[in-house]
Amino acid sequence: VRIKRNVYVMPLVATGVIALGLLGHNQYMKLQERRFQSDIKKYAKDLEKNKSTIQKYEALVKKSARLKSDIRTVKDRINYVNQKADRKLEILITCFQGLAGAVPEALVLDTVAQDEDKDNRFLVSGRSWDLNPVGFFATSLQDHDWCRSAVLKSLDSGDGRRLKFEMLVEIDPEKREGNL
């Protein structure tokens, strides 16, 4: 009987309980949001810190690669100086000493030029009064171990009195000793 008289109170009690539940839930969600916002700020700071660390690391990796490249270049240069640089000078010394020792008295050398394509080839040009000193010069060059070949490229009597010649001399720089 009492419940029938107070029927209008039950919906109010149910509405109050639901309102209290929703209000509590709302406060709990605001608390969670504040926690998550503080976590987001913390992680954003950590992320920025890590980004700067990663950028420093990448810069150091690039610098390391540059240094490795510089070291490799310097090693290549040292290797060139130690092994190959003197080889060209040895070729020139071999050629000039051999040519100077083989030139007959009746022959005048005008030019001795190294071939641009091959280091061991030389173009020798000169003058003589007759053909015998030119032939003697070519054969005396070929008598040496260091001379692979001495080939007469051209022979010209341009002014009628002297013979001008050009000869291609190929040397073997490995065979320097012996007849020098």
Q: Annotate 85-154 with DSSP letters as a single string.
A: HHHHHHHHHHHHHHHHHH--TTEEEEEEEE-SS-TTEEEEEEEESSHHHHHHHHHHHHTSTTEEEEEEEE
**What are the backbone angles phi and psi of residue 142, rounded to the nearest 5°?**
-75, -15
* pLDDT band of 100, cuts 50, 70, 90: confident
pLDDT band with cut points at 50, 70 and 90 for residue 24? very high
pLDDT value for 3: 66
Q: What percent of the chain has pLDDT over 70?
A: 91
Pick the closest to residue 130 from 163, 157, 175, 154 (CA basis). Answer: 163
Q: CB of 105 within 8 A of CB of 132?
A: no
Label residue 158 by pLDDT band (50, 70, 90): low
Q: What is the pLDDT of residue 159?
A: 67
Helix (H, G, I), strand (E, B) or coil at 172: coil
Taking each helix axis from N to C terminus, what angle separates 85-102 and 131-142, rounded to the nearest 10 degrees? 140
pTM (two decimals):
0.49
What is the 8-class DSSP label of residue 174? T
Q: What is the DSSP letter of 8?
A: T
Average pLDDT over residues 127-140: 84
pLDDT tens column, 29-88: 999 999 999 999 999 999 999 999 999 999 999 999 999 999 999 999 988 888 777 777
